Amino acid sequence: MATTIETQSVDQLGGPGSVLALQRRDHAEMGRLMDRYEALADGAERERVLKDVVQLVFSHAFAEETVLWPAVRRAAADGEELTSRVEEEHQGINDLVTDIERLDPGTAEREEKVRRVFALIRQDIRDEEDHVLPRLQEALDAGRLRRLGAAWETVRRSAPTHPHPVVPRRPPGNVVLGVPLSLYDRLRDGLGLGVSGPWGRRILAGMTGLLVSAAVAVLVRKRS
């Protein structure tokens, strides 16, 4: 039985292009960024680090839900149980970050939610590296892990980078809704747009609503 991927060599994981190695790479970067945030005093640099955490976590999780967890469900007899648990953790992270992005920096309520979401991210990493990904390693050879890694990386690079509570955790709904929201997120990131203040939140809600409505219409049409 495969053990945690945390302590395995890159070769054991299937090479640098394996989805297991790519997952661990992102997890390590998440840990580094969270540690950096916690070490900084309040200020602009701290907010930039938090923004980097959010963008990485959400693009990473979207690619997991789109590419990786369906593969786990196909490959492992207990795949449904394993992926349901991490999907619940992802939803919890989504809800907390949604709240964080609505609160002003430096407030006690916001800092408490940041502490909670960091703890949940760290728990999610452990569940994935210790339980979910070893089951995938048992089922797939190195070549298939590398092909899965290429697909996962492609999706991650074009995935949403912020929380969107309306997006389902599984395909095809997450893909249909995720595409337009990803375009919006990356425009927002590139322009440095924030959502603090009532007008920013109203604009964001309005644009998100339009994008979601259009995507839902496409999904309904595909199902009809």
Sign of the C-alpha dihedral, residues 9, 10, 13, 15?
Answer: negative
| Token reading at 71 | 């593969």
Least confident interval from 74-83, 156-165, 205-214: 205-214
Model pLDDT for residues 130-178, shown as the tens digit of each residue: 999 999 999 999 999 999 999 999 999 888 888 877 667 677 766 666 6
- Residue 2 falls in which region: left (phi positive, over 0), alpha (psi -120 to 50) or beta: beta
Tell whether pTM > 0.85.
Answer: no
CB-based contacts of 42: which residues, under 8 Å, 6+ apart? 105, 106
Instruction: Specify the 3-state DSSP secondary structure of 15.
Output: coil
CB 24 within 8 A of CB 145: no
Between 178 and 206, residue with greater pLDDT: 178
- Over residues 100-131, the pLDDT tens digits come to 999 999 899 999 999 999 999 999 999 999 99
User: How far is the C-alpha of 127 from the C-alpha of 123, rounded, in Å?
Assistant: 6
CB 137 within 8 A of CB 145: yes
